[in-house]
Structure 1
Amino acid sequence: MIRVLFVCLGNICRSPMAEAVMRHKVKEAGLEHAVTVDSAGTGDWHIGKPPHAGTRNILDQNKVPYDGIRARQVTAMDADRFDYIIAMDTQNAKDISRIFGGQRAHVIRLLDLLVEETSKDVPDPYYTGNFELVYRLIDDACDRLLSKIRQDHQL
């Protein structure tokens, strides 16, 4: 099983949106037997909470289910449990590396997959309120990530 983890700050806006979008794309591709998706936050403020209302609204508008998604905090054990660890921004990537304590997990920023984007940080809609922009970036980047996974694992 190929395991993907999306990570943001609080695990209520960007990373659960990416988890839901990627799960939806994996299911549409018929790859649920091969790919599993999760999300986490670097902070512990929202543990156990569902996605932010703005995230739920944009997912509902795009008919992307998010059942069962609840905030959790990333742990050092995640370094070994996931094949793809995807940070929403540069600070998240630094925090993940600190949490992993030098373990050799490979962390990339989600927008590294969108070479045409000049900024490599997904804006945090918790502060900006722009859930539509974040959805567009995540949707496009998840298409690229799924293509990469298919190529990397010959699916």
Structure 2
Amino acid sequence: MTLNNATTPPSAERDGAGSDELRVLVVCTANQCRSPMAEFLLRHRVQQLGLDWTVSSAGTLALPGHQMHPNTARLLRARGMVDPDWRTRRVDTHSLSGSDLVLTATREHRAAVVDTEPGLRDNVYTILQFADRVNAVRQAGIWDPLRDTSDKLLTALRRSEIPGNGQDLSDPVGRRYRPFKACARVLDHANDMIFGQSTQPTE
């Protein structure tokens, strides 16, 4: 994968107790369109910021071992994000138990994750809900991605009374390339809300 990394802020300078490592799992249905797109775009952003976040993805009904949708691959390739070894995975108790935070494409996916791993309930959000809530705590000065730990973020989110965006991320599968670009724009905006910084995609 080709990524342009920004200078990594020293982790010792971040405020808050605990490790700054955060294991994020992004979930959709087949793990071919929305979740791999969100995985790569989020990973790119956190690497630019020098954050110690590990980002992966899986699908509630995924058939393991397949490549991502050609249009998703095309979009990511145009942005310089290439991983020829990437393959689909299915959501299971192992992938969930190894995650600190789960972001889902829809409310239905969120319910499926919580049914499978009830202990994660407080750390499972839809992508758009998560973006809204993080934006609120960030703008309130409670959490800053370059200053504060991910532990502090998760604690702030659990205490937050802001419901966040209730919308689902539309599935572009079965349509032409344009809906995939629209999906990426939604994810770009979500990342802007999370981190308070904008990037200009090439496509």
The partner residue of 1:134 within 183, 187, 200 is 183
Select the residue among 29, 45, 51 that pairs with 2:68: 51
Identity of aligned residues (%): 30
Q: C-alpha offsets along residues 28-67 of structure 1, whole Å, 9 cap, x if unaligned?
A: 2223xx11110000013x3111110010111122333344
Q: Does 1:143 find its partner at 2:161?
A: no
1:47 alignment partner, SS class = coil
Alignment of 1:2-151 (within 5 A): 2-31=22-51, 34-44=52-62, 46-100=63-117, 102-105=118-121, 106-112=123-129, 113-114=131-132, 120-129=167-176, 130-146=179-195
Larger radius of gyration: 2
Q: Would the aligned equivalents of 1:110 and 1:120 in 2 still touch at CA under 8 Å? A: no
Deviation string, structure 1 residues 93-147 (Cα, Å, up to 9, x no partner): 11112222x22342100011147x9761111111444101110111221333456
Distance 1:69 1:15 in 2: 12
TM-score of the aligned structures, taking structure 2 as reference length: 0.63
1:125 and 1:23, CA in 2 relative to 1: closer, same or farther beyond 3 A?
Answer: same
Gaps of 5+ in 2: 1-20, 134-163, 197-203
TM-score where L is the length of structure 1: 0.80
Indicate the RMSD between aligned Cα atoms, in angstroms: 2.3
Q: Distance in 1 between matches of 2:165 and 2:112?
A: 22
2:68 aligned partner, one-letter code: P
